[in-house]
Amino acid sequence: MEPDNNKKNPLETRNKIISLLRIRGPSLPIHVSKEIGLSTLFAGAFLSELASSNEIKISNMKVGGSPLYFVPGQESQLENFSNYLPGKEKEAFSLLKEKKLLEDRKLEPAIRVALRSIKDFAFPLLLNSPEKILFWRFYSLLEEEAKLEIEKLIEKPKIEPKPVTLEVKEIKPEIKVEKKQIVKPEKVIKKEIEKPLIILKEKPKPVIKPEKVKEKSDFVNKILGFLGAENIELIEEKEAKKKEFTARIRINSDIGKICFLLIAKDKKSITENDLTLALQKAQSLKMPAYLISTGQLNKKASSYLENYSSLIKFRRI
């Protein structure tokens, strides 16, 4: 049973979440939900808004499919969750942590790919040289320290010049007499060149046809009617297809207005994959997802929705 959402001051709730993260360190939405006394959906919405305003940060790594939320300065505490990294990424993490600095071109391809995925711990440094050599530094190694280490690695040994003995010889100047050739003037014959007459024809001006306004499908109109009936504010329409509609919306709640990424689908059955894609799109915009459909959830989708109820909401119409 999720905690009851009593009427709360949104600013007070935001401050409580930030204070909690400062004490707990990197946390999942479900932890914030239990501590603050909010539903997991509203806790996820508040976390997304705080991340959008750069008051807190979101980890690149996932724990059980959800990122970690933390306040600036707690980056080192993400190491406590490194055991959740996949196999090759965990191997790349251990290698970089040990060496602190790695040259990309000297690594095996799988490690090179993995380093590009662990963005919480691996930071790129591109050497400004004709070769453009890429290095990776561990997050705890300062950038200036890394640059000094790179300079040591690429420093070429100095070659001492060998002494050169110079021999001086007397050189007698030679005087050369050049014979001047007399050039006879030739008669220059001027010819009149007849230039062809070029007639330029004006190209006909292209006719600009007015763009046809695409009519919205019955399904999209049905969604728009639903939003109006539910007093849901449409902020920005992103994509409108025959059987799919995507937009940014704002919903009034007891704890203030919350922005969602709306994804509407005209389908008989909503699958786990539909929920996963909707959540990925919403997280890329740092907001929770609101999925609306004419169909119902299948068993796997229902289980998925329970696990990620802090980040996605579903409504059948």
User: Is 136:96 a contact under the CB 8 Å cutoff?
Assistant: yes
Give the Cα separation of 288 and 44 in Å (integer).
7
Please give the pLDDT value at position 180: 53
CB atoms within 10 A of CB 211: 6
Please give the pLDDT value at position 181: 56
Q: What is the pLDDT along the chain (317 residues), one digit of tens a residue?
A: 444 444 567 888 899 999 999 999 999 999 999 998 888 888 888 898 899 889 999 999 998 888 999 999 999 999 999 999 999 999 999 999 999 999 999 999 999 999 999 999 999 998 877 778 899 999 999 999 999 988 887 765 454 555 555 454 555 555 555 555 555 555 544 444 455 555 555 566 666 665 555 688 889 999 988 888 888 999 999 898 989 999 999 888 766 778 899 999 999 999 988 988 888 888 888 888 999 999 999 998 888 888 777 788 899 98
Please give the pLDDT value at position 150: 87
- Of 10, 33, 32, 13, the C-alpha closest to 23 is 32
Please give the pLDDT value at position 284: 81
User: Is 249:233 a contact under the CB 8 Å cutoff?
Assistant: yes
Amino acid at 212: K
* Three-state DSSP state, 201: coil
Residue 153, C-beta contacts closer than 8 angstroms, at least 6 positions apart: 103
Please give the pLDDT value at position 259: 87
Please give the pLDDT value at position 200: 53
Pairing of strands 269-270, 296-297: parallel
CB atoms within 10 A of CB 174: 5
Give the Cα separation of 136 and 116 in Å (integer).
9
Give the Cα separation of 225 and 79 in Å (integer).
48
Give the Cα separation of 314 and 295 in Å (integer).
11
Judged on CB neighbours under 10 Å (0-12, 13-18, 19+), 129 is exposed
Amino acid at 277: L
Ordered by where they begin, the domains of the chain are 10-74 (1.10.10.10), 85-154 (1.10.10), 218-316 (3.40.1350.10)
Please give the pLDDT value at position 3: 46
What global pTM score does this model have?
A: 0.53
* Three-state DSSP state, 315: strand
Please give the pLDDT value at position 310: 72
- Of 35, 30, 52, 64, the C-alpha closest to 311 is 30
Pairing of strands 122-126, 134-138: antiparallel
Residue with tokens 């922005």: 259
Per residue, the 3-state secondary structure of 294-306, as one string, reads CCEECHHHHHHHH
Residue 212, C-beta contacts closer than 8 angstroms, at least 6 positions apart: none
